[in-house]
Structure 1
Amino acid sequence: MGEFHRLHLAAAFGTAQEVAARLEQTDDVDVIFDGRTALWQAVNARKFDSVELLLAAGADPARPMMSGWSPARLSLTTAHPLATDEVLTPEEQAAVEERDRLVAALAGFPEADGFSLACVAGIDAGEATRRLKAYVVPDDEVPDVTDWWEEPFEDDNELAIGVTDVPGGCVLMQPWYFTASTPVVANRLSAGTVVYAMYANPKSGNQGRIDRDGEIVGWDLHPGGSPSEADTTSEVLLAHLYAHDAVAYCCAYVGLRPEDDRAFTEPNRWLLLPDRDYWHA
């Protein structure tokens, strides 16, 4: 492993002391790895002690990278902006403010993995129900779902999904299985709109997909993970703002603005999907 790679890893995940040790062994503090410098990694990770060390070592905060996000411009989204002539657009500033509100509204959800969800822009729970040809479980027939691991819907548990209207669209949530994130569900919900679906896989981490107007446009995604140098300007910003907040990322990607976490913890309506193969059309 090259020393420049070790410096990048220390800037992204390590301590300031580890960054200082790597700097002593690095000839070029601004070497690019995976489309970004170590300074960019430190700003993205909000490791401000490491940022100061890298700047003192000569790192360039204005160096262009990551679809227009230099380290200095990216820092404008944090609590410790660097001196720069670069600015955020009004839309980007609004996204920063919404991030703070949204993360607070979701109150740290989730506490555990194993759930799946679909965030759907522009349609309500009634339209989602119609598109999925789902049966609405009457309120007086909804079982106690406070213990999600007890299979409250018994033999229908894999087909039971909660749905809730939120500002901007609706959320479908399955606490105990991956059905809400399957191709058929996402495809049917996406007609004329966009869906970000995710399965919080306990074994391999968050697995996301994007469907737009009946077509899959992104799969094997990692909401809440690091941005890619191939990402657009807005995608880099979202990945930075919602690092380690996968559910909030899914909402933000499609423009949902839930006011609290109840769409994920206490859905307004429970549906039973038709019994079919949800992996193939």
Structure 2
Amino acid sequence: MAAGNDGWAGMGWDWTDAADVRRRLDEGADPHRWSGGRPLHRAAAFGSPEVVAELAGRVADVDALENGVTALWEAVVSGKPDNARALASAGADPWRPSIGGWSPGRLSLAGPTPDLFPVPEGVRLTDTEREAAEEAHRLTTALGTFHYDGTGLACVAGIDAAEAVRRLEAAPADEEVVDELLEDPYQYDMDESLGIVGVTSVPGGCVVTQPWGYAPQMPGVLTRLSAGTVCYGLYANPKSGNQGSIARHGTVEGWDLHPGGGPYEKDTPEEVLTSYLYRYNAVAYSCAFAGLRPTDARAVVGPPDVWVELPQRDYWSH
């Protein structure tokens, strides 16, 4: 094999072809290295149980770490229960502590397959963790599935739509302008459309939404909304993915976050659980972070309780 060639040339997201993977391994592909990472971790998240089993049988350590986690952790977090079972059958340890003190096995108790592994005596979720898991199931079911690329949100705890409008010093939007905008928002200049947002009360607080832009996540919006409370902002950027932000008591605390991603290596136990419960669901994550409990997706996709127009001001230096 040529120097620098690990035998995985051409492999991308699809690690489901067991015959191809077996052929590569037989021809000398490195079972421990792929594009700077580990093939077993890649297969655990993006492969088939057959590929996982093939690789697991050829590595020196089935519980080897990549970015602080095992391949079994990747399978559980990625929602690949069959891959997780294949790894456990190959000797992977479901109860090995990982990010935030969670093990893959204990984390799975909060997900859709709590019977994934035989549970040792005394291992369980706390009441708080179980309640969080139950609310995640309710919330994701209530929101359902919808297209939200290009949408901006601000999920605000503890205030209703009327208070949000007051804090923003917004005025009722012209109904004819809103109707025309909704027909094709991208026909309008961004300077014209960016100032119009929808506001809706939901259990736990309210949601400020803009289905065509990032206005709800602008710092000057978040700081005004978050006075005395907490606010999670989201912009589902069609070009670069979901972008999150946190404002608390009028100050932006976090920016360029990745709601619906993770868990990440330095996360707290609570952050690990939340990231697992809402992985790939940035809207639900944003609502949950602020403690909002919407019963459907109307606050996000519309029609909102009220359409309002923001006053002209610099929203980026506040």
Q: Which interval holds the TM-score relative to the shorter structure?
A: over 0.9
- The equivalent residue for 1:8 is 41
User: CA contact under 8 A between 1:148 and 1:175: conserved in structure 2?
Assistant: no
2:128 pairs with 1:91: yes
Q: Distance in 2 between matches of 1:139 and 1:124?
A: 22
Partner of 1:270: 307
Q: Does 1:132 align with 2:168?
A: yes
Aligned with 1:199 (options 235, 238, 245): 235
Displacement, 1:156?
3.4
Indicate if the aligned counterparts of 2:53 and 2:90 stay in contact, CA closer than 8 A: no
- Provide the rounded CA distance (Å) in 1 between the counterparts of 2:210 and 2:112: 35
TM-score normalized with structure 1 length: 0.93
Q: Where do residues 172-251 of structure 1 align in structure 2 (5 Å cutoff)?
A: 172-251=208-287
Pick the structure with greater CA Rg. Answer: 2
2:100 to 57, 62, 67: 67
Aligned residues: 280
- Stretches of structure 2 lacking an aligned partner (at least 5 in a row): 1-5, 7-31
Give how far 1:140 is off. 7.9
User: 1:184-222 deviations in whole A, cap 9, x for unaligned?
Assistant: 111111111111101111100001001111222221111
> Where does residue 143 of structure 2 map in the other structure?
106
AA matched with 1:15: S
Give the distance between the partners of 1:151 and 1:157, measured in 2 at CA.
Answer: 10
C-alpha displacement at 1:144, in angstroms? 5.0
The reply on whether 1:43 has 2:76 as its aligned counterpart is yes
Q: CA RMSD in A?
A: 2.0
Deviations 1:51-99 (A, max 9, x none): 1111111111111111121011011013333222311111111111111
* CA distance 1:17–1:149, shift in 2 (3 Å): farther
Deviates more, 1:251-260 or 1:1-10: 1-10
What is the distance in 1 between the residues matched to 2:236 and 2:51? 32
Q: For residues 141 and 242 of structure 2, what CA distance do their matches in structure 1 show?
A: 21
Identity of aligned residues (%): 50
Rounded Cα–Cα distance in structure 2 between residues aligned with 1:156 and 1:104 = 35
Which moves more between the two structures, 210-219 or 239-248? 210-219
Q: Summarize the Cα distance change of 1:220–1:142 in structure 2 as closer, same or farther, 3 Å threshold.
A: closer
Unpaired segments ≥5 residues, structure 1? none
Q: Residue type matched to 1:5 in 2?
A: R
3-state SS of 2:101 partner: coil
Opposite residue 90 of structure 2, the aligned amino acid is A
Which residue does the alignment assign to 1:78? 111
Name the CA distance, whole Å, in 2 between partners of 1:200 and 1:47. 25
Q: After TM superposition, give the deviation of residue 126 of structure 1 in Å.
A: 1.4
Could you tell me how far apart the structure 2 residues matched to 1:150 and 1:9 are?
A: 38
Which secondary structure does the structure 2 equivalent of 1:67 belong to? helix
**Partner of residue 160 from structure 1, selected from 196, 207, 223:** 196
Match among 96, 116, 119 for residue 152 of structure 2 = 116
2:10 is matched with none
